[in-house]
Structure 1
Amino acid sequence: MKLFLTSLLAFSVLAFNTKAQKTDEQLYQLADKIAHKYILTDGHVDLPYRLKIKNFRLERQYLGIPISTEEGDFDYERAKKGGLSAPFMSIYIPSSYQQTGGAKELADSLITMVKGIAAAHPDKFGVVTTPQQADANFKKGIISFPMGMENGAPLLKLSDVAYFRQRGISYVTLTHGKDNHICDSSYDSTFTHKGLSAYGKDVVKEMNRVGIMVDVSHISDDSFYQAIELSTSPVIASHSSCRYFTPTFKRNMSDDMITLLGKKGGVIQINFGSSFLDENYRQQAEVLQGKFGKILKEKGLKFSDPAAQDLLKQFQKENPVLFADVETVANHIDHVVKLTGGTKNVGIGSDFDGVGDSLPTGLKDVSQYPNLIYVLLKRGYTEDAIADIMYRNVWRVWQKTVANAKM
């Protein structure tokens, strides 16, 4: 006990001295240096689907080749400014494709898009399927594009798991907004399988075999507990936050789930969406969403209609909601560290380009990661601990998953 208190006192004095010796400006300069010194991976960036719905074409640069643009949350110049060096490109498959079909075709088209962007700009981007490939790109100053499939809907037969690994997929989020043929969703109240389906259990085993990380974001609690016990490699939650701060939001992870994730060597990557971070924001946003829905119904509009988007902008001006902020994101990181006993089980999974206008103050796009590092430094996190959060934790799971593969 005496040794523990002595160590704690030493850490406190060190943290105090670090703050005392550096001004806020110097701490921010250090944060920016750290952001560029180490690999910075983000578990979930929805650029591909954002470009898809913009009718993306490689030959039509004004529609979205992500070098420099004011649209969305990601482009090359902003990523370089923020130190982002390995964003996982989300191959997002909406749940509607489970009813209409075409999930595999959409996945293939989005993968082709990501590869096309990298091929068009080989000096700026490179698709990777292992941590070692990302390490090599980082040394060259190239931004890596690992890919994760959000929703296992395209895995129509077991052989599709190996197929998509060969196409470059490094993780699969087992489902999305609805129960699918693999497992139940946190957003669905049907509880079709009461966790994983029989086929879903085979999918998890096959993902382990071919070297694809199991992503437990979006899945129901029962699905989580079954998947984490079944998987022979640690799992990730590529873009989730702590239910402790949002008790009504089952999409986030409970303290018990996070604790077990830590014991199993997994990583939760904190989502930046304000609805994932703050219960007050969630409650305000839900009320306003209902009001706006009534307005659209009265005018006979769908949310996707251009006129509806114009109405939405005006509605948001007239009904402002207080967003979460960068300090709130740090609170979630602190909570995971407290639950798991250290910084080895937490990372970053922003959901940039996926959570719309709800991003927190100070983290509005990929140029602003240094703001989060700055807050962590102010809270006493060491450079080494921050490097864990930036990439080492995810790299450990990714490397183990690839190493355990039996292809």
Structure 2
Amino acid sequence: MVGWMRVNLFNAWHNSAMTVMAGIALALALWFGLGWIIFEANWSVVPTLGGRIIIGQYNIEAACPGQNCFWRPQAALLLVTALLGMAWAVAGGGVTKRIALVVGGVAAAFAFLPYGLDRMGLDVRLLLLANLPALAVGWALARYTRLGSASWIAILSVLAFILTLVLLRGIPGVPLLHPVSVIYWGGLMLNLLLAIAGIALSFPVGIVLALGRRSRLQIVKLMCIVFIETFRGVPLITLLFMSQVLVPLAFPENFPQNSLVRAAIVITLFSSAYMAENIRGGLQSLHPGQVEAARALGLPGWQTTLFISLPQAIRNVIPPIVGQFISLFKDTSLVYIIGMLDVVEISRAFIQGNPEYLANAKELFIFLALVFWVFTYGMSYVSRRVEQHLGVGER
């Protein structure tokens, strides 16, 4: 340890001076920061909001009259933990195992929150605890059945997402599945749904746009350029506002409107424009000899692109791709402009509607910043492990 410090922190006078100044600044930040967090901050606003941070107004009486709909988001969480268990079995450990155990363990730990049974019933606690068995069931399914492959996990993930939307939306006439309007969807659940949909859809759309921009067909190339430059040149908040105000004008008055779908489409298209440029940069970084060698082997153009150029291009631009995913996740908080109560907006509305908590606004938003940081750091961590596995920057 002493040798490492001498080599890396005190190997020259200027490096030593910077180390000392950084250490002093860090010590002061920890002293005053931790002192405020432990002795002065009032964190009671966080447990007061409670489940609304997670699901927003989904379980209020107006959204689900005469029923307890809280079990539906929890059932969706069980699907997620089961899929993580399957991914753990297929990957055989490593980062996938750690993510699965953290998600299952944290979800189960919420069952022991110090709330009374009148606020957090026994059924809610049991469903949260069921995440650990769900993790084990998913692991066993992938381990001892034919479902233990990456392709099956991808298919089941799509089906689980669709089933989640059906559960949350409800089905008219079906017991325990009273329809819940999307205007009541909110909290972190809304941010995650929009982020998952945006990430899953913007990636393939971005690939198509990148290939189209490099196409020799001038009309295809022009259309892709216009799309990319239009969506990159307009702020996301403007596009969301336009989707809410202008798009309904193109449909009849009695046409069903769905703000969640419009927000998901806008976020996906906006992110796909940036994704296209990231992919195009990866394609341009490849040596022309790759394509020439494929042509010498007699491979047609589509096989050259699909099996040679595109995999290498994606591998080269993993950092900006994940950076775009992180940006997309944070941008989901902008849906407040169309009246949707994401985790940030519902917290702001709570503070504004309860003046007694105005003094605790900073504690609440620091907590929300920590929540966003956990998710974004998780994506960054997975990205680094993927880069290490693929040897990005090493070969």
Length-normalised TM-score, structure 1 = 0.30
Pick the structure with greater CA Rg: 2
Higher helix share: 2
Higher strand share: 1
Length-normalised TM-score, structure 2 = 0.31
